[in-house]
Amino acid sequence: MASNTTIQWTEQTWNPTSGCDRISDGCTNCYALTMAKRLKGMGQAKYQNDGNPKTSGPGFGISVHPEAFLEPLRWKKPRRVFVNSMSDLFHSGIDTASLHLIFGVMAATPQHTYQILTKRHGRMRSLLNNPQFAHMVFHRAKMYGRPDTAARTWPLPNIHLGVSVENQKWANIRIKALAQTPAAVRFLSCEPLLGPVRLTRAHAHCPTHDFPGGFCSGPCPDLILPDWIIIGGESGPGARPFEPQWAADLIDDARLAGAAPFVKQLGSVWARANGASDSKGGKLEDWPAALRVREYPTTR
């Protein structure tokens, strides 16, 4: 079931699949895993499939929900939609045929903007660079009512693709994969941000220009930077520390790269240490003035 959300950078969540497995440091205190266990206890039908105890948990096994696929077709008002707040759309446990259908719904509803965030950068890159995948998406979109004469624009202009970046290690790996994936808008979710991340280190040396320590000022087709950077500390039990300087550095990098920075929250550890009025460190009035930044990308 789709729902309104308190996530500041979106308006609606849509979960055609649920469940996941931990694969990197950012997954340690996964809010969705904890929520799935609670929903299973409440008897929610979508959360009765248990995952691997080592990497997942109760109610958090990968599950595909065909009954939820059609929900966006019923939404008349355009909205920003976070796809799979309770899963990772590019998890290997989600079959490609289901992805054809899910992307087909997004292709058939161009009035909505879909935000897809993944840690499975490799599968994302492979699928979305595959002409056969795009062909099947438009075939499914026709099933959902998209006119066959409609322009077949790939990448789909209403889909924004993002990767999770919790530290420099994963910045170097996932941003490169994102840059190699066709997308109308690319974004980073640096939440929870667990250490300093600088964008200039996340890209290979420019083959055309020499720019040690900074951004290339010339036309560089091989250097693709993100359009949007979401920044946030960790919240909840077991939250790990967050340094405001990490956010300040990313804001500076975003400005240099022409990206829109969006600081979501400063996290529970920072909130406790600074007497913030919100336990997640999410109220802008509590923050240093330089971090009170919430911008959205310009749609191409």
pLDDT tens across 71-99, in order?
Answer: 999 999 999 999 999 999 999 999 999 99
129-146 residue pLDDT tens = 999 999 999 999 999 999
Instruction: State the chain's mean pLDDT as an integer.
Output: 91
Phi–psi pair at 281, nearest 5 degrees: 70, 40
pLDDT of res. 299: 65
pLDDT of res. 2: 52
| pLDDT above 60 for 68 | yes
199, 195, 202: which is closest to 258 by C-alpha? 199
| pLDDT above 90 for 206 | no
The structure tokens listed for 242 are 């967050």
239-296 residue pLDDT tens = 999 999 999 999 999 998 889 999 999 999 999 999 999 999 999 999 999 999 999 9
pTM of the model as a whole: 0.92
| pLDDT above 90 for 181 | yes
Amino acid 185 reads: V
Percent of the chain exceeding pLDDT 90 equals: 84
Strand partners, 14: 83
pLDDT of res. 38: 97
| pLDDT above 90 for 218 | no
Q: DSSP readout, 25-73?
A: GGGTT-HHHHHHHHHHHTT-GGG-----TTT--TT-S-EE-GGGTTGGG
Distance, CA of 114 to CA of 121 (rounded, Å): 17
73, 75, 66, 63: which is closest to 107 by C-alpha? 73
